[in-house]
Chains A and B, each alone.
Chain A
Amino acid sequence: MISFPKQVDREKRLHQAIAFWIARIISYSILLILFLILFFILKRGIGVINWEFLTAMPIDGMTKGGILPAIVGTLYLVLMSMIIAFPVGVLSGIYVNEYAKEGAIKQFVKMMTNNLAGVPSIVFGLFGMALFVNRLGFGASILAGSLTLALLALPLIIRTTEESLKAVDDTFRHASYALGASKLRTIRKVVLPIAFPNIITGLILGIGRVSGETAPILFTVAAYFLPKLPQSLFDQAMALPYHLYVISTSGTNIQASRPIAYGTAVILILIVLGMNLLANFVRSHYSRKVKMK
C-alpha cells in the first residue's frame, strides 16, 4: 500500500481557499469600482433632480432649468437606431449562421463584422456625416444620427445572433427537417424561438452602447442647444451624452452648470439601466417559454 503524505489534504484545501479568495476579492473590487462611480455621480447629481429638471427646457445658458430635450433626444435615438439595427442585425446573423455555406465568403463576412466592431466610434461619426448628412441629404437629423448609431450597434447584434443560433442543438433542426419542414419554417418556428432569449442579449448590449455614445452623434444629429423638442425625423436633437459633454466643457458658465452635468449623468445611467431591465424582462419572459429541463 502506498502511504500518501499526511498533510496533503490540508494543503489542497488551503491552496483552493487561497485561489478562491483571490478570485473573490478581484470580482468584488470590480463591483466596488462600479458602486463608487454610481455613488460619486448620485451624490453630486441627485440634488438637482426634481420634476422640473426632467420636464423643463434648459434656461439661462444651460445653467438652470431642465434637460427635457436631451432626454427626449436620447430616447428617440436609442429607439430609432434599434428599430433599424435589430432586424437588420438579426437577419444578417441568421444568414451567416444558417444559410451561408462554410468557406471563404462566410469567413470574410465574419472577419469584416469583427473589424466593424473595432472601428472607433468617431470614425462612424465621420462616415455618418459624409453618407447620411451630406451625400443622402438627410442633414444633421435624428434619422442620420440613428442610422449612424445603428451601424455602430450592428456588429454587436449580428455577433450575438450568430452565437445564439450556433448554440441551438442541430438535433432540433434535424427533427424539423425529418418531418418535412422547410429550412425557413424550421428557422422561424423552431430555431429562433430557442435562440431568442440570447438574441435579446445583443439588443441589451446594443442599447447600452448606443445610449452612451457621443462621437457618432457629434456631426450627425446632436445640437448644442435647441429651444424646442424635435418635431420630425429630420430635426436635430439634443442628447444626454452630448449635453453632458457640452455643459462640462463649453457651457457659458461651467461652474454653475456643474450640478446639472451630474444630474444629467444620473438620468443617463437611469435610462440605460431602465432599458436594460426592460430588455431583461423580455428575455426572461421568452426564456421561461423555451426553458429546457
Chain B
Amino acid sequence: MRTKIEASNVHLHYGDFHALKGINMQIPERTVTALIGPSGCGKSSYLRLFNRMNDLIDGVRIDGKVLIDNTDIYSIPQSEVDRLRRKVGMVFQKPNPFPKTIFENVAYGLRVNGLKDKKVIGEQVEKALRQAALWEEVKDKLKKSAFELSGGQQQRLCIARAMAIEPSILLMDEPASALDPISTGKIEELIYELKSNFTIIIVTHNMQQASRVSDYTGFFLLGELIEFDETKKIFRNPEKQQTENYITGRFG
C-alpha cells in the first residue's frame, strides 16, 4: 500500500509547552487510523497538523516534517494552505452545521472554492449526501435549516459537507462523542464504507470504537507516540506496558 501521510520527527510547541515530542508515523492510503490516549496527550494537536489548523493558534511552533503525498505541507507557501485544506477534510467533535439550509451547508465548500455551475453543485451535493448515508432522510427537505436535523443527522451532514469538495483525507476529531449509541453506530458504519475512497484518521476516547473501525492505532501519552501498529496487534498483543495499561483501563 502506498504511504499517504508521513510524519517524521514532528515536534509541536504551544509557547513553552512541548505538546508533541518527536512523532514518527507512516499512514497507508485508504485505511483508517485511530489515535487514542488520555486527554491532553497531544492526539488532537497531532490530528490538526495535517490540515494546518494549528496555524490558527498564536504562539505555535512546529518542527520536523509532515508529508502528504510526498509534499512537506509545512514548506508550502501560505497561499497553498487553502488548497491543502481542500485535500484534507475535517469533522469536528460537536456537530457544527452552519446556520444555513441543508443544501447550502454541503454546497458551502464548493462555493468558497470558486465553483459556480448550479448543475455541478447540485450533483456534488447529492453525491456527498449519499456518501454520508443521509440523502434518503433529507432529500425532501434540502431547503430546510440544518438545525432541524437530529444531532446524529447533523454530524452526518458535517461529514457530507467535508466530503463534497472531494478530499482524499478525512480527519475526525471524536466525531461520535456527542452522539447517542444508535447515531454512533451509523457514523461507525459510515467510516467503514468511506475507507474505500478516503484515508481516515480518527481521534477517539472510545476503545471499542477504535478497535471496531480502525486498521491502525496510535497510542499517545504526554506528547509521545508510545506505540503505533495494526489495530489487531495493539489490542491483542501490545509491545509496551503503557499501551496495555491504557487499553485495559488501568489508567488514563
Contact = CB atoms under 8 A, between A and B. Distances in A.
Partners in one complex: yes
Contacts of A102: 58
Nearest to A186: B112
Contacts, number: 74
B56 interface: yes
B96 A177 contact: no
Given A101-B58, A185-B112, A180 B96 contact: no
B128 to A, nearest CB: 12
B85 A175 contact: no
Give chain A's interface secondary structure class.
helix
A194 interface: yes
B135 interface: no
Interface string A165-192: 0000101101111111110010001100
On chain B, which size bracket covers the interface? Answer: 20 to 34
B164 to A, nearest CB: 9
B138 to A, nearest CB: 15
Contacts of A59: none
A180 B158 contact: no
A178 B90 contact: yes
Given A102-B58, A171-B92, A194-B99, A177 B108 contact: no
A178 B53 contact: yes
A56 interface: no
A175 B147 contact: no
Contacts of A179: 85-86, 89, 108-109, 112-113, 161-162, 165
Interface in B130-178: 145, 147-148, 158, 161-162, 165
Interface of B: 51, 53, 56, 58, 82-83, 85-86, 89-90, 92-94, 96, 98-100, 108-109, 112-113, 145, 147-148, 158, 161-162, 165
